[in-house]
Structure 1
């Protein structure tokens, strides 16, 4: 929901940084993979209940996630880059609740509820993108994307805000997980409705 606004604020500095990296011969896929490697430190830190370290890894991962697209736009976007970006994003998102559950087994149920919500948003997002590509639909109003970008109540900006809140106030993780998980299911339902509307006569 907040992604379009966030992109307008962060894209200009990211594009400048991405162009500088591209001029130095740093590829978008290298940024994606480096960011993912940094992001994997977050669930490890969460398992150790080192919440501020986890927060730092999360923020660095998200910075790299913004930079890889900027580098690609300044050089040459590729299908491989788009594929790696979306797959590693979803793996990273899933690893965060897992880290909380490992560190605090009493958080396992809310973590599972949040993961189930992520499964709904991810599958509905990707399924819509598959059939949008088949029928030549695009979402260019959100800027250049590797695949159709179907919005919703819980997008990247909201997800990161949730993760930041969980790291700053870890004792409240169950409340954040149940609340955000519910919002994810609302997003999933809205995307299913959009899919029915878009594809029922095709």
Structure 2
């Protein structure tokens, strides 16, 4: 919901570091893969109840996620980079609830399953819209630098990361937070279905 407003600020903050990284020959794809690897380490940290460590790793994952785009814009963004970025992001989002489920299966497993199912709804509707929009040559006005059509909604990247931060700070509240956010994701999914229904009602010109 607030990603479009935050992106200009994020770009300004990350550009100096991105320039330094690019000057050392580190590519955007390298950052994407490294960030995903760091994010994966958050899962065992969560499973063993090391929530502070997990929060640090999640924050680093998101930092790398911002830097890969910043570095890509300094050179030439590629379709492979856009594919890697979105595919690994969605995998990471689903793995974080799994880590909480492993930490306390009795309390967290069902809410985690509900949240992951809700992520499937938001992710699949996002990607399905992007595929058809790409075929029609559409570009999102609010996200002109994105590698694929970026369809907004109530729950976007910023809200999801805010959720993960809250979960790490207050792990006992994971079930409540997961179910509330799953409901918000359901609203996002329904609105995206409606947007797709409306946007693609007519054959392409």
- Smaller-chain TM-score range? over 0.9
Task: Give the TM-score normalised by the residue count of structure 2.
Answer: 0.97
Q: Which structure 1 segments of 5+ residues have no match?
A: none
Q: What is the CA–CA distance in structure 1 between the aligned matches of 2:141 and 2:69, rounded to whole Å?
A: 15
| 1:29 is the counterpart of 2:29 | yes
Report if the CA contact (8 A) 2:46-2:54 is conserved.
yes
CA distance in 2, matches of 1:142, 1:57: 27
1:66-102 Cα distance to aligned partner (Å, 9 max, x none) = 0000000001211110000000001100000000001
Q: How does 1:102-181 map to 2 (within 5 A)?
A: 102-106=102-106, 107-181=108-182
Q: Distance in 2 between matches of 1:55 and 1:125?
A: 26
How many residue pairs end up in the alignment?
202
Q: Which moved more, 1:7-16 or 1:120-129?
A: 7-16
What CA RMSD, in Å, does the superposition of the two structures yield over aligned residues?
A: 0.8
Where do 4+ consecutive residues of structure 1 move more than 2 Å? none
CA distance in 2, matches of 1:78, 1:46: 33
Q: Is the 8 A contact 2:82 2:148 kept in 1?
A: yes
Alpha carbons 2:154, 2:184 under 8 Å: kept: yes
1:187 aligns with 2:188: yes
